[in-house]
Structure 1
Amino acid sequence: MRRPGQFKMVLLGESAVGKSSLALRFAKGQYQEHAESTIGAAFLTHTLQIDQDTSLKVELWDTAGQERYHSLAPMYYRGAQAALVVYDITNGESLRRAKQWVKELQQVNANDMVIGLAGNKADLATGNRRQVDSNEVREYAEQNDLIFMETSAKRGDNVTEIFMSVAKVVASKQPSGTPKTDGAFSAAKSKPKESSGCCGSDSKT
């Protein structure tokens, strides 16, 4: 059996939008109602079966959303083939911050990185709690060639789907079907250890 390829994917977004919750739901099928915020970054892995002949091991780097950790972000997204930028649909300011992340990634990586955009906390999109219009974001995503879905880490809505969609595009960019992670980051002194409890959560949803 052919060994699976692998790629590095970084999660970016403001604090408390649910990056860690999405990572934990995707990688381990778990959801933690109450968890501490991520400090620096945390690391998880999960293998996806893209098709009958192609499987990809996703190396997830879940970054802290607090502004004081922003200067560390380039160290984590360097060498990444993909990024998932997350915002909270009940927090309009978090979308503005997400757009800044997208702009930064596009400037640094040009067209080399596959970028997904997740509007998290879809389970809270009731009454007047929603602050972000999905049609507006969809138009923005189309203009910027982003893979966009609204997700709920709590219920599991579109979590696997958005990661799978990003992975399929990454695989399509690799003729061999076995993309490899840039090894430059592996020597970074701050590489956190993978843990079964993930990494603390930026959010409850």
Structure 2
Amino acid sequence: MAEFASDTLDQSSSSAPVKYKVVFLGDQSVGKTSIILRFMHDTFDSQYQATIGIDFLSKTMMVDDKMVRLQLWDTAGQERFKSLIPSYIQDSSFAIVCFDITSKAS
């Protein structure tokens, strides 16, 4: 993923978009990146590529007649990156915890 992306709709509204930082958390291989890519680009890549550190994507969209800008933070699930989670979730609006329903350990 490792890219900055922006999908912007008509911003004829005079007010600035409301910004929300959304952090995706969970063990490796649970589907965090897949969920984000499906939402951003309506695609699914069946080949697994681990996120290293963190990836960040952004999407601006209309929600209930208001412009909303979502900052989507895709965190790495590997054990060596777990110590970074507190700094990622700082100032976040939402945290989405992802897990694998076939793995109790996740």
Tell me the TM-score range normalised by the shorter chain.
0.7 to 0.9
| Equivalenced residues, count | 93
Report the alpha carbon displacement of residue 21 of structure 1 after superposing the two structures with TM: 0.5
Q: Which residue of 2 aligns with 1:76?
A: 88
Larger % of strand: which? 2
Q: Which residue of 2 aligns with 1:67?
A: 79
Deviations 1:77-107, CA, capped at 9 Å, x for gaps: 111011110011111211xxxxxxxxxxxxx
Quote the Cα distance in structure 1 between the aligned partners of 2:28 and 2:102: 13
Quote the Cα distance in structure 1 between the aligned partners of 2:54 and 2:36: 12
Which entry has the higher C-alpha Rg, 1 or 2?
1
Q: Which residue of 2 aligns with 1:39?
A: 52
Higher RCO (C-alpha 8 Å, min separation 6): 2
Alignment of 1:116-155 (within 5 A): none
What secondary structure, in the 3-state scheme, does the structure 2 residue paired with 1:35 have? coil
Quote the Cα distance in structure 2 between the aligned partners of 1:30 and 1:42: 17
Quote the Cα distance in structure 1 between the aligned partners of 2:86 and 2:105: 22
Larger % of helix: which? 1
Aligned AA for 1:16? S
Report the alpha carbon displacement of residue 74 of structure 1 after superposing the two structures with TM: 1.2
For structure 1, the 5+ residue unaligned runs are 95-205
Deviations 1:132-169, CA, capped at 9 Å, x for gaps: xxxxxxxxxxxxxxxxxxxxxxxxxxxxxxxxxxxxxx
Q: Percent identity?
A: 41
Quote the Cα distance in structure 1 between the aligned partners of 2:23 and 2:17: 19
Alignment of 1:1-205 (within 5 A): 1=13, 2-52=15-65, 54-94=66-106
Aligned AA for 2:33? S
Deviations 1:55-82, CA, capped at 9 Å, x for gaps: 2110011000011100111111111011
Quote the Cα distance in structure 1 between the aligned partners of 2:50 and 2:99: 16
Quote the Cα distance in structure 2 between the aligned partners of 1:48 and 1:35: 28
Report the alpha carbon displacement of residue 47 of structure 1 after superposing the two structures with TM: 2.2
Quote the Cα distance in structure 1 between the aligned partners of 2:101 and 2:31: 11
What secondary structure, in the 3-state scheme, does the structure 1 residue paired with 2:57 have? strand
